Amino acid sequence: MQQALALAHRSGLLPYPNPWVGALVVKGGRVLGRGWHLGPGTDHAEVMALTQAGTGARGATLYVTLEPCCHWGRTPPCTEAILRAGVREVVFALRDPNPEVAGRGLRILRSRGLRVTNGVLADRAAAANEAYLKYRATGLPFVTAKVAATLDGKIATRKGESKWITDEAARQRAHHLRRENQAVLVGVNTVLADNPNLGPRCGPKFEPWRVVLDSKLRTPLRSQVVGSGRCIVACSANAVRANYLRLERAGARVWRFHGRRVPLRPLLKRLAEEGILAVLVEGGSETHGSFFDQELVDRVFWFVAPAIIGSSRSLSAVGGRGVERLADARRLRDAQVEPAGNSWLIHGNLSRWALKFCHDPVATAAAARR
C-alpha cells in the first residue's frame, strides 16, 4: 500500500476534480502492474495497473488507495475491469465519499466472491486527498494561506515598501507552494502595488489560475496577472460594465457576484465547480483577514523573517475583524517549524479533513452536506 500511495503522488495536480489514486497488481510477491490517475477522462489507476499486468492479473491481489468506482462517468466502472481481470483479492485504503460510490464498490466486489480488505493506511490516503475529501463534503476547495512577515507580523512598511521581506531561499520555497495549487488568489491592492506574476519560477512550466478579488474592477489591463492568459477577476454586480468588457477583451475571465463586496464562499464554490480544488491565498492584509474571519482557511504556511518594522501604521499580515477573546484565536494543529534561508517557515493545519475522513468518509461527507 505504501508503494500505491507513492504512485498516487505522481499525478500532481492532474486528477482534480478527481482524487489522487495509485494502484498495484501483485502476485507471488512480484509487482505485475502499476497505475496512477492522470485526470478526468483518462484511465483510472486500477485500469492502468490491470492493463499493464495483462493476463497475469488473474488470481492476483490489487492494492489501491481508494475504493474502486462502480459507476459510469467519463470512463467505465473500475469494478467491471477488476472482475474481468480475474483478480482474487482487493485491498484498498479509503472508502470513497462520492455518493455514486460510497461503499457500493466494496459491496459489488464482495458479492462476486472477491476477498476485499479496506482501511489499510487510511490516514495516509486521506492526508493525500484532503482537497478531494473537503470538496466532497462541502463543495469548496482546500484553501492554503501563505504569509511572509517580519518578527512583529508586518508585511510592509508604513510607506508601503514590501520587497522583500524574506530572502531568495524563502521565496523559492513559496514558489514551490504555487506549483502545489491550481489557483493563486490575491486582492486587487496587491496587484496595484506589486504587479505580481503569481506563477512559480521553479521547476517545469506550470501556470496556475490567477484569481483577483476586485469589487470595482480596478485591475490594470496590462498587469501581469491579466497577461498570463489564466486570470479570473471576481467583482461585484455594481462594477462598471465598460471595465468588465475591457478586461474580457484583454483575455481575463470576469465573474460578477451580488453585493458590494465579492462574497468569498460563493467564489470558492464556483472555483470548485470549475475543477479548482486547491487554492493558495497570498493576501495582503485585508484578503487574509477576510479568509480567516470567515474560517475558510484549511492550512497555513507562514514565513517569518528575522526583521522588525514597527509602527502602528505599517501593514499587518492579517487584517479583518479578528477575534475578541484569546480562546477564539485560530490555532494551528500539528504545527511544524523549519528553516527557510535566513527565515523560518511555520506550517500546520486549521482544519482536519484527513482525520475526519480516515475512519468513515461516507458518513462524514453525508453529515457535512446536511
Model confidence over 92-136: pLDDT tens digits?
999 988 878 888 888 999 999 999 999 999 989 998 889 999 998
Residue 363 lies in a domain: no
Q: What is the CATH number of the domain that holds 325?
A: 3.40.430.10
One domain for residues 60 and 156: no
pTM of the predicted model, to two decimals?
0.88
Last residue in a domain, options 96, 128, 160 = 128
C-alpha cell read off for 308: 522588525
Mean pLDDT, to the nearest integer, of 213-242?
A: 94
Query: How far apart, in whole angstroms, are the C-alpha atoms of residue 173 and residue 350?
Result: 21
For a pLDDT cut of 90, what percent of the chain falls above it?
Answer: 68
Chain-centre distance of CA 358, in angstroms? 18
* Residues noted as catalytic: 46
Last residue in a domain, options 128, 162, 194 = 128
Q: What is the CATH number of the domain that holds 91?
A: 3.40.140.10
Q: Kindly report, residue by residue over 158-199, the tens digit of the pLDDT.
A: 998 888 899 999 999 888 899 889 999 999 999 998 999 998
- pLDDT exceeds 60 at position 363: no
One domain for residues 59 and 142: no
Last residue in a domain, options 71, 97, 128 = 128
One domain for residues 116 and 162: no
One domain for residues 69 and 156: no
One domain for residues 117 and 157: no
One domain for residues 285 and 341: yes
- Domains in the chain: how many in total? 2
Q: What residues contact residue 49 under an 8 Å CB cut-off, 6+ apart?
A: 23, 24, 25, 33, 34, 35, 62, 64
- pLDDT exceeds 80 at position 356: no
For a pLDDT cut of 70, what percent of the chain falls above it?
Answer: 93
One domain for residues 55 and 193: no
Instruction: Show the domain range for 205.
Output: 137-357
pLDDT category, 305, cuts 50, 70, 90? very high
Q: Kindly report, residue by residue over 14-72, the tens digit of the pLDDT.
A: 667 888 899 999 999 999 999 998 877 788 999 999 999 999 999 999 999 999 988 77
Q: Kindly report, residue by residue over 238-264, the tens digit of the pLDDT.
A: 998 899 999 999 999 999 999 899 999
